[in-house]
Amino acid sequence: MARIFITGSADGLGRMAAQQLVASGHDVVLHARNRERARQAIEAVPGARDTLIGDLSSMVETRALAELANNAGPFDAVIHNAGIGLIESRLETVDRLERVFAINVLAPYLLTALIEQPHRLVYLSSGMHRGGDPDITDLQWRRRRWNAAQAYSDSKLFDVALAFAIARLWPRTLSNAVDPGWVATKMGGPNAPDDIIQGAETQVWLAVSDDPQATVSGRFFHHKRLRESHPAASDLAVQDGLLRACEKLTGIPLPI
């Protein structure tokens, strides 16, 4: 039995992954951004041990969530599933940071830095990461004209870069990124063509399987198969630049 923490598990792929893990007898801790969502999460995954609350758009709440997770842990695996999709206009968080970057990239960085190192880490990305721009000089979209698809693609590229950086810097942790496909979640919409069950299964497989194909690190997967990622995700300058930018924004260095 493995102990697993899943962010963004009140609905969608995170909830489905939690249901699969609980059904297999694993000890699962859920996450939701507020009390109402936490209630929905535990009702949907009744076998889960607990639901931790924290709004990932706030660095204060994300730090507090990491403390809650450490009190509930240690974990064998952490699945960084939470994220937001395309938003029509540039919005800022309470920390005056661009919202897509803050939730999709900075929050998983901060949780990774603050939660006791698990044996496995899984970061949710997207096939759209291949259209991402690795330039880190305007992460907050203060100089560029807002482009929702580009901002989302950039964030998902940085998620892969983060996963690969962790794989390089933490050799005792298996760290991988996943493209779940275009699936029928709240983010993907009801007409999405890909198989949502397979999208969740890959997270579960990487979190707990002893399959030699799953016990690797620094890889990008789609439906349990290795896929090529954007070349920039493997670029050490991009990885290190992203880590420096996240450390500057949060004040928290990644433990090495």
**Positions marked active-site:** 152, 156
Q: Rounded distance, CA 115 to CA 66, Å?
A: 5
Q: How far apart are CA 233 and CA 36, in angstroms?
A: 36
Dihedral, 19, 218, 245, 98 alpha carbons, nearest 10: -40
Q: Is the CB of residue 80 less than 8 Å from the CB of residue 155?
A: no
Fill in the DSSP letter of residue 98.
Answer: B
Rounded CA gap, 62 and 206, in Å?
Answer: 24
Closest of 144, 186, 139 to residue 162, by C-alpha: 139
The residue count for the chain:
256
